[in-house]
Amino acid sequence: MTTFPGSPRVLKGALVSIDPMSPIPNVIVFQYNPDTLTRTLKPRVASGDAARAEAQRLTGPPEETIKVDVEIDAADQLETSDPIATTLGIHPQLAALEMINYPKSSVVIANTALLAGGVIEVIPPDAPLTLFIWGAQRILPVRVTDCAITEDAHDPLLNPIRAKVGLGLKVLSYNDFSITNPGYYIFLAHQVLKETMSVINLASDLTTVMGSNVRLG
């Protein structure tokens, strides 16, 4: 696609899955940025049977979920006879999304061998650290809670060539990680940035209400 020289550079949203057992992260860049992103925040407070003094205490950051619809289309690649698109369609892109919630087959085989060898308890593998990236101000550790794939078109070999993917993401906070996990600090940095932007908004609102001569502090 041709762009005008003066056009602003548009950042792409992405999911990045980081497996400590693999040196190469699984990077899934959104082909087209979704028009809509829906976020739901639910306050995390003491349970309903808590004492009155505890009822208003925040036990952590809000529980946040994100819904986003991603479109994947091989039209441009097929037009230029891209060998991967003509052979596999968008199978690789869909597989990259789906593999976020799969354990490695090598781990499954190794655990099966351990069980066959008489090991009584085999610990399930940890899921990779997955980051949802939506601009510089929003880098969040998440868990993919659902992935609804609608394949809208297929080639003669039944490879999908166009699809819509509805992603449900649960934001993971420092409440969900140990202090040694990078996800703990990634979310903490996100919260600090959010607090900073809140202060910027406060200063802007005060100036609007009280005039430009107002001073904070």
pLDDT tens digits for range 85-112: 999 999 999 999 999 998 888 888 888 8
Give ∠ CA 123-129-134 in degrees, rounded to 5: 160
Q: Helix (H, G, I), strand (E, B), or coil: what is residue 145?
A: strand
Q: Is the dihedral of CA 11, 17, 18, 21 positive or negative?
A: negative
pLDDT of 4 over the 60 cut: no
Q: pLDDT (tens digit, 9 = 90+) per residue, 43-81?
A: 988 776 655 666 678 889 999 999 999 999 999 999 999
**pLDDT, average across residues 26-39:** 94
Residue 210 has pLDDT above 80, yes or no: no
Which amino acid belongs to residue 167? L
Please tell me the number of Cα atoms within 13 Å of 146 on its side-chain side: 8
Query: pLDDT-derived band of residue 215, with 50, 70 and 90 as boundaries?
Result: low
Question: Would you state the pLDDT for residue 194?
Answer: 94
Query: With bands split at pLDDT 50, 70 and 90, how would you rate the model's confidence at 209?
Result: low
pLDDT at 206: 60
| CA nearest to 109, candidates 130, 132, 125 | 125
Under 8 Å between Cβ of 132 and 169: yes
What local confidence, expressed as pLDDT, does residue 187 receive? 97
The predicted pLDDT at position 119 comes to: 81
